[in-house]
């Protein structure tokens, strides 16, 4: 590996760790550089700004399942198991907690989370939901999954953390199933 590739990798590793520990606003280029054992100017040379570095760190593909090929009555379960795998399984995504933690306090991170929602989650839901209900259903799915992520992985509420993945699937998948393909109430907005 060339020296420039090692430097870039060191910066990214340090940034991931710093952003995992602290929200976006509390992470400095200087702290990242110190951890990577380089001059702060090198961070900016490789990534031009903290925003660009953050965007690189949280660039993620959720690799969402194709729900069209999943039995219609198992879609909620399959989707929840997929997200649990992304958060705590072998396919664990380090960018997810970073993005969720920072999105609550920083607009750049919130905008990136909305992009992931629009480009990945909404698109996935659109493959199985009626056109007129895609945005509503995608919003419900996302709010439920993000709520689980917030309480289980960031806030670490004991009653949610202590629940096994299978138990969580038993509790939550039916709601996701309804959001994806069940009847939704027709209360006017």
Identify the CATH number of the domain in which residue 25 sits.
1.10.10.60
**Are both 72 and 118 inside the same structural domain?**
yes
Predicted pLDDT at 67: 97
* Domain ranges, residue 76: 67-181
**Are both 91 and 32 inside the same structural domain?**
no
Number of domains in the chain: 2
Predicted pLDDT at 151: 96
**Are both 94 and 134 inside the same structural domain?**
yes
Predicted pLDDT at 157: 96
**Are both 99 and 47 inside the same structural domain?**
no
Predicted pLDDT at 185: 86
pTM of this prediction?
Answer: 0.87
**Are both 48 and 73 inside the same structural domain?**
no
Q: Is residue 186 part of a domain?
A: no
Give the number of other Cβ atoms within 10 Å of residue 164's Cβ. Answer: 8
**Are both 48 and 97 inside the same structural domain?**
no
Residues in the chain where the model's pLDDT stays below 50: none
Q: Is residue 87 part of a domain?
A: yes
Predicted pLDDT at 189: 61
Q: How far apart are CA 79 and CA 87, in angstroms?
A: 13
Q: Is residue 189 part of a domain?
A: no
Burial of 143 (0-12, 13-18, 19+ CB in 10 A): exposed
Considering only CA atoms, which of 111, 136, 142 is closest in space to residue 24? 111
Q: What is the pLDDT of residues 81-116, one digit of tens each?
A: 999 999 999 878 889 999 998 998 889 889 999 999
**Are both 80 and 32 inside the same structural domain?**
no
Read out DSSP for 23-51?
A: -GGG--HHHHHHHHTS-HHHHHHHHSSHH
């Amino acid at each position: 590996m060339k020296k420039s590739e090692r430097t870039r990798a060191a910066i990214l590793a340090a940034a991931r760790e710093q952003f995992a520990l602290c929200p976006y606003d509390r992470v400095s280029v200087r702290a990242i550089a110190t951890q990577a054992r380089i001059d702060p100017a090198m961070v900016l040379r490789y990534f031009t700004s903290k925003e660009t570095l953050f965007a690189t760190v949280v660039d993620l593909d959720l690799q969402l399942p194709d729900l069209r090929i999943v039995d219609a009555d198992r879609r909620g379960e399959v989707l929840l198991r997929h997200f649990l795998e992304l958060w705590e399984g072998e396919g664990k995504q380090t960018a997810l907690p970073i993005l969720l933690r920072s999105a609550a306090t920083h607009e750049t991170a919130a905008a990136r989370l909305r992009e992931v929602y629009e480009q990945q989650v909404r698109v996935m839901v659109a493959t199985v939901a009626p056109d007129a209900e895609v945005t509503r259903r995608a919003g419900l799915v996302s709010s439920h999954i993000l709520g689980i992520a917030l309480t289980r992985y960031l806030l670490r509420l004991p009653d949610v953390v202590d629940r096994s993945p299978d138990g969580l699937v038993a509790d939550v998948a039916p709601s996701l199933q309804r959001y994806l393909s069940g009847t939704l109430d027709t209360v006017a907005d």
